[in-house]
Structure 1
């Protein structure tokens, strides 16, 4: 039986394998900052964080791990 893999995690894994920039999903970034997924989306827009677009998806994006790490350190 094939194991289910979350689509966002699959895209993240593929991106990280082919890029020198590490990324996080919105949910992962939110959990590091103590925010829900919806709160993180709002925070991303207000803080003008870099959104890494996902091909063929208008509303989904990944966030740069380096930016999130800097925010976690500053808190």
Structure 2
């Protein structure tokens, strides 16, 4: 049985395998901050977080894990 893998998660896995910088999907980043996906998108825009573009779509991107970790650390 083939397991469905979300496109964003697939891109994240490929990116993390080939880069020194780890990334998170918008949904993953939002869950770390207690935000929905839409709230996280607005938060990323407002706080000018680095967006790692996904070539397949203009509206899709990944966020740097290091930036999200820093925000979580400063909140606590």
The structure richer in strand per residue is 1
Instruction: State the aligned residue count.
Output: 75
Structure 2 match to 1:35: 35
Q: Describe the superposition over 1:33-68 as per-residue Cα deviations: whole angstroms up to 9, x where unpaired.
A: 000000000000000000000012100000000000
User: Structure 2 length normalisation: TM-score?
Assistant: 0.96
Q: What stretches of structure 1 of length at least 5 have no aligned partner?
A: none
SS of the counterpart of 1:59? coil
* Superposition deviation, residue 2 in structure 1: 1.5
RMSD value over aligned CA atoms? 0.6
Runs (4 or more) in structure 1 with deviation over 2 Å come to: none
Q: Give the aligned partner of residue 4 of structure 1.
A: 4
CA–CA separation in structure 1 for the residues paired with 2:3 and 2:34:
29
Deviation at 1:22, TM superposition (A): 0.1
Unaligned runs of 5+ residues in structure 2 are: none
Aligned residue for 2:52, secondary structure, equals strand
1:65 aligns with 2:45: no
TM-score by length of 1: 0.97
